[in-house]
Amino acid sequence: MSVELLETVRRIALEAGALAADLRSEGVSVAASKSSDVDVVTAADRETEALIRALIAAERPHDGFYGEESDAAAGSSGLVWVVDPIDGTVNYLYGTPAWAVSIAVGELDPDAAPDAEPTASWRALAGAVYAPSVRELYTASAGGGAWLERLDRESGAPERLRVNPNPTLAHALVGTGFSYIAERRAAQGAVLGAVLPRVRDIRRGGSAALDLCAVASGRLDAYYERHINPWDHAAGALIAREAGARVAGLHGAPATSQLVIAAEPGLFAELHAALVDAGIGA
């Protein structure tokens, strides 16, 4: 099933990415704001999600859907699609290339609470993160590894992804991100101030999905972020895991909106300890 789902995820991500890129070339209009007046939704977010939802419904009418821009829907198949039509919307708004379509599908835990985040206890089966501006497509399936297709190369075969081997915290390049709510940003800045002296350097790309793929591809050694949504990390977390990363929250908890940490397992332990020391769970 994972192989079949992966092909569907891949095809839909490419089609949605093409639409989002076309809409970007026509100009961006802000349709609304979300958590604050600087956390925006564009008309392209909504149009791209509508396309993704329609394509999924046409092929998988009995699956559930959980997206950023439209109401969730329960399905009858036990599978759910978790979708961010444009992850990195502010980058998209400003014309910065680091934005992506993120699509994942997984098997729901039948014992999960009805209001639980779908990715907190699901079994991810397939995922794709497509960055149209640089024509890079990341994909993974459960047990099938993580892969990068560079679509700007005529004959380039997919590349198997592996996390950087045996990095230490002191030599780690670490990605993170920040909320658009001022109070949360202040707390995140305080944690960052404590972590920064203990690592090689910090990067803030603006797309959680792409940051997780960067861990998978070795462009980052690790990534952590608080207050992100399931659609931000669903596909990227699977891709990072299949590339050899450990992806989890604090003290063995699953990766949720409370916290996502992704790194090679040994580095994960070091970064986890540094984040606890910095008071991230306080």
* Both structure tokens of 246: 């450990």
How far apart CA 201 and CA 14 sit, in angstroms, is: 33
Residue 86 labelled as part of a binding site: yes
Residue 221 labelled as part of a binding site: no
- Number of neighbours of residue 104 by Cβ within 10 angstroms: 33
Residues of the chain with confidence (pLDDT) below 50: none
- Number of neighbours of residue 17 by Cβ within 10 angstroms: 26
Nearest to residue 127, comparing CAs of 74, 70, 82? 82
Q: How long is the chain?
A: 282
How far apart CA 19 and CA 184 sit, in angstroms, is: 33
At the topology level of CATH, where does 2-160 sit? Fructose-1,6-Bisphosphatase; Chain A, domain 1 (3.30.540)
Contact 239, 146 (CB under 8 A): yes
pLDDT in tens, 46-83: 999 999 999 999 999 999 999 988 888 989 999 999 99
Provide the β-strand partners of residue 127.
104, 140
Residue 84 labelled as part of a binding site: yes
Question: What local confidence, expressed as pLDDT, does residue 2 receive?
Answer: 80
pTM of the predicted protein model? 0.95
Nearest to residue 213, comparing CAs of 163, 276, 142? 163
Listed by start position, the domains of the chain span 2-160, 169-277
Q: Is 257 exposed, middle or buried (0-12, 13-18, 19+ CB in 10 A)?
A: middle
**What sign has the CA pseudo-torsion 223, 226, 232, 235?**
positive
- Number of neighbours of residue 171 by Cβ within 10 angstroms: 13
pLDDT in tens, 135-180: 999 999 999 999 999 998 876 789 999 999 999 999 999 999 999 9
**Which class would CATH give 169-277?**
alpha beta
* Both structure tokens of 275: 């984040």
User: Torsions phi, psi of 264, nearest 5?
Assistant: -50, 140
Question: What local confidence, expressed as pLDDT, does residue 33 receive?
Answer: 60
Domains 2-160 and 169-277 share a fold: no
Residue 87 labelled as part of a binding site: yes
Contact 222, 262 (CB under 8 A): yes
Residue 12 labelled as part of a binding site: no
Q: Is 265 exposed, middle or buried (0-12, 13-18, 19+ CB in 10 A)?
A: exposed
How far apart CA 23 and CA 242 sit, in angstroms, is: 32
